[in-house]
Amino acid sequence: MLKKIFNTLGLVFVGLFLQLTLGEMISIQGIRPDFLLVVVILIGESKGKFQGELLGFLIGLVADGIGISMLFGLSALSKTIAGFISGFLRNKKSSMGVFYYYFIILTIILIHFIILFTIYYNSAQLELQYIVLRYVLPSSLYTFVVYVLVDNIYPRKNRVS
Amino acid sequence: MFKAIYDFCYDFAEYLLFGILILLAFILIFSGDSPQVHKLQGNISDTFAFLTFPKNFIKKTTNLIQENHELRRENLQLRRKNADLMDASKENQRYEKMLGFQDSIDFVVVPARVINYGNMSVGKALMLNVGTKAGIQKLDPVICPEGIVGKVVSVGDKTAIVHVFNDINFRLSIRFMDSRLLGILRPIGSGMLQVSDIPTTAVIHPGEQVVTSGFSDIYPPNIRVGVVDEIQHSETKNYQIATVKPYVQLKSLEEVFVILDY
């Protein structure tokens, strides 16, 4: 039990560390992958909806606390939803097939970024089309690539509760 | 009755928690101006500031040699300029006295180190290594020698979060230095800023300096902001739009000053 808690906390801190250390270094035209979202999805798909949404909320609060200057609580909102939806994928990968599974993951990432960017840029008088093409899609694809890499590197057996 | 409620809560715990968390998130978003929310944000930044240490260490070490060379070169140039400026300063003092001007801007500043910038996927925020213990308060303006940086939006004991000028939600009251025209500056992405709704009769030109207007309750007047890069006409030809290139490069910013009083 204790090992599982430390495993999860370790994953959260690794995600935070990577976001703060690499976030800016590997950004392309201001687009950076969301390592914290990857962590939330990994937790959600391995531990279920309850832990996914709870940790999604807490991780989102931390992200809001250290990286956002406006709309405190926005990352918490988007990551709670991402954690909750990814909880539906618990133990489903083998029955679903890899491509269908990854398609759902990409959809979760897209939903997360649509919520995040459309609310954040609401007051900036930008067109929705521009927000989606300039921010949502590139950020989603970049984060998805990171997710696929992590999913293939980080052994699944370590994550399944 | 209670057993039925308990059973319901037990069966739908995940969905109930989801609803509660979403509600909490919305409460936080809509209580953005509440001191409790700012305190919470300050505490979070205080708690997790240590995670920025490795990045800062690597950045500092790699930059040190290059910085040393640059500083030596700059030192030589500054020595030469210093002599010129001494003359200019004395001349300026004389003129000020003659015109009856007084040096009305006397900033009380606290130096701060930037320990984190723009690592999250949305929003642009600087984290500083000073907080309430150094006298920092919410809405204190933040500047650097090149010009305006932003304003403090939340403060912890040892850290502060700064809303920077290139964040999409940032607005700044400015004045064009030569034409004395006022405007509202906003970022447009790609590192550039924009002032729209300028009357067509106004004469502004590329290269004109843009400074803070002083009409804001937050920023003192005449802080350098940027320089006019391009003038365009709006689609209806009723207004002009000025694109402004900021003086401050946030990515390479290491030290700033927080203005406590002016």
CATH code at A86? 1.10.1760
A97: pLDDT strictly greater than 90: no
Q: Which domains occur in chain B, in start order?
A: 107-165 (2.40.10.340), 172-248 (2.40.10.350)
Domain extent at residue A145: 2-158
The DSSP letter of residue B74 is H
- Across-strand partners of A71? none
Best A20, A126, A141 residue to mutate vs chain B (most B CBs within 10 Å): A20
Contact B143, B257 (CB under 8 A): yes
| Count of structural domains, chain A | 1
Helix (H) or strand (E) holding B90: helix B53-99
Say if residue A159's pLDDT is above 60: no
**pLDDT value at residue B15:** 92
> φ and ψ at B228, to 5 degrees?
-65, 125
ipTM summary value: 0.90
B149 Cα to chain A: minimum distance (Å): 13
Cα B237 to Cα B135, B217, B262, distances in angstroms = 48, 33, 40
Q: What is the pLDDT of residue B140?
A: 92
| Calpha distance B198→B204 (Å, rounded) | 9
The token duo for B197 is 């709704």
Q: What is the pLDDT of residue B117?
A: 78
Q: Which residues of B touch A82 (CB under 8 A)?
A: none
Q: d(Cα A134, Cα A131) in Å, to the nearest integer?
A: 5
CA-based R_g, chain A, Å? 15
Tens-digit pLDDT profile for residues B165-198: 888 888 899 999 888 889 999 888 778 899 988 8
CA atoms within 13 A on the CB side of A3: 4
The answer to whether B49 and B159 are in contact (CB under 8 A) is yes
Whether residue B256 contacts residue B149, with contact meaning beta carbons closer than 8 Å, is answered with yes
Structure tokens at B130: 């000073």
Dist. CA A158–CA A45, nearest whole Å: 12
* B202 close to A (CB below 8 A): no
Nearest to A47 by CA among A59, A37, A57, A39: A39
Mean pLDDT by 10 residues, chain B (262 residues): 79 90 93 84 85 75 75 79 79 67 63 80 82 91 89 90 88 90 86 86 88 88 90 80 90 85 78
State residue B102's pLDDT score: 42
Instruction: Give the count of Cβ contacts less than 8 A between chain A and B.
Output: 161
Considering only CA atoms, which of B164, B153, B179 is closest in space to residue B256? B164
**B222: which residues sit within 8 A by CB, 6+ positions away?**
B105, B211, B212, B214
Query: Is residue A158 pLDDT above 70, yes or no?
Result: no
Residue A61: is its pLDDT beyond 60? yes
Task: Return the bridge partners of B164, or none.
Answer: B150
8 Å CB contact of A70 and B163:
yes
Minimal-distance CA residue of chain B relative to A65? B41
Contacts of A70 in chain B (CB under 8 A): 32, 123, 153, 163, 167, 169
CB spacing of B116 vs A70 below 8 angstroms:
no
